[in-house]
A and B are shown apart, each in its own frame.
Chain A
Amino acid sequence: DAKTTQPNSMESNEEEPVHLPCNHSTISGTDYIHWYRQLPSQGPEYVIHGLTSNVNNRMASLAIAEDRKSSTLILHRATLRDAAVYYCILRAAWGGSQGNLIFGKGTKLSVKP
């Protein structure tokens, strides 16, 4: 399975933008890039996903490098409720066990008031 690399932790100030990086140099052409986050004592929450083009939704934006070997999750204005562990995960396009999510250690985001 293609793997991802994320920083262990990051800090941000409230109301400032946050850019969470993810490297996936062995990504295949049909792997989707998914982002999830897990708040303390809760289950993971889906944030966003994309294949090649940048994506926006109400929670965040996903910027995907042209060669797809890296991506960045962008929170436009961090709030205290955004403090969580953020996971970048590759999901194979074609299903089967390769379509399952493999969670790494993620990036623990701290937000300072």
Chain B
Amino acid sequence: SQTIHQWPATLVQPVGSPLSLECTVEGTSNPNLYWYRQAAGRGLQLLFYSVGIGQISSEVPQNLSASRPQDRQFILSSKKLLLSDSGFYLCAWSPGQFGDQPQHFGDGTRLSIL
């Protein structure tokens, strides 16, 4: 069966520091991968999605970036964190991008910026 792993579960970082969040999927190949953010008390916002290695689409311009160095690895990065980057970051995967294919989410990383 397929599983998705995200780490770390929680992270506290100072303003201006770099960020690297990692997500890996097991048990499938060539998945679609997604990064979402959920700010406190708000809905989920899609940040990036990827349909293949090296292919990244950004939904919202911000100081974050994403990379997909391997088929089942998705990384969210920032060179300099802002206070507004605090939130709950979720990685998800889907067998494809078609409408009949559900997305499956990881357990998330709770990021606090001080």
Contact = CB atoms under 8 A, between A and B. Distances in A.
Q: How large is the interface on B (under 10, 10 to 19, 20 to 34, 35 or more residues)?
A: 20 to 34
Interface in A88-113: 91-97, 99-106
Interface in A31-88: 31-32, 34, 36, 41-46, 49, 51
Contacts of A101: 34, 44, 46, 103
A56 to B, nearest CB: 15
A102 B28 CA distance: 24
Interface string B9-52: 00000000000000000000000001010000001111001000
B39 to A, nearest CB: 12
Contacts of A36: 103
B99 A103 contact: no
A93 B100 contact: yes
A30 interface: yes
B57 interface: yes
Contact of A99 (B90, B92, B98, B106): B98
A25 B36 CA distance: 26
A97 B107 contact: no
B96 A34 contact: no
A100 B34 contact: yes
A104 B46 CA distance: 12
Contacts of B43: 103-106
A43 B59 contact: no
B69 interface: no
A4 to B, nearest CB: 12
A46 B44 CA distance: 14
Contacts of B44: 44, 101, 103
B62 to A, nearest CB: 17
Contacts of B46: 100-102
15 contacts: A42-B108, A43-B92, A43-B107, A44-B90, A44-B92, A46-B103, A46-B105, A91-B99, A94-B98, A94-B99, A96-B97, A100-B49, A101-B34, A101-B44, A106-B43
Given A30-B99, A46-B102, A49-B100, 17 more contacts: A31-B99, A34-B102, A44-B44, A44-B90, A44-B103, A45-B105, A46-B103, A51-B100, A93-B98, A93-B100, A97-B49, A99-B97, A100-B34, A100-B46, A100-B59, A101-B44, A101-B103
